Structure 1
């Protein structure tokens, strides 16, 4: 009976530690989520976002699959026309093997809050 007790206790301890670490990682991921406001440009080769407040430029990954659709609904004659957007997103380090490597960071859009052709007065103009 004692032979099984020590491994069982170790398994329970490691399970509790693994669950605690996983929760901490989920909390950190959620804390990285933020709302971004700025100019978005879309075209065949570039998907970029310029943050109005910071002036930083990001490569855009549309995980919600709604940003590119909303942009294309404007029916611009030329690509890369900027629009003003407000989105919920996460900022991650860009992958060095694809086009996004030209950008330091990638903005992963999780939810589109607002998209409009009218660029508001202020730092975006």
Structure 2
């Protein structure tokens, strides 16, 4: 039996895992400038990966009426960006991490997420 909701949830979580891997690669790229820059890049991408994973869990919860589905989608999006902005605020304000590597990590993770969702990577090669 084909379950499109479960397939969508798996696809979104797989894309969030790709996003986390790209955040790690961005952190490794900034390691040459120092551990603070690498941590900032990793936090920037990791915050969005965490937000997207939680948004997928909230938004893709099963078969429901359209109003509930739209509300869950909006709630998931709000949760994703609240987490990302909150982590950014803590990293910039409390930990005093450099902002440019954080933005680069966020941008790389966002592009990786969009590519992973649109290119539909399949482990079987189909």
Report if TM-score (shorter chain) is over 0.5: no
Higher normalized contact order (CA 8 Å, seq sep 6+, divided by chain length): 2
Which of these two proteins has the greater Rg computed from alpha carbons? 1
Q: Which has the higher strand share?
A: 1
Q: TM-score, normalising length from structure 1?
A: 0.28
Tell me the TM-score normalized by structure 2.
0.28
Higher helix share: 2
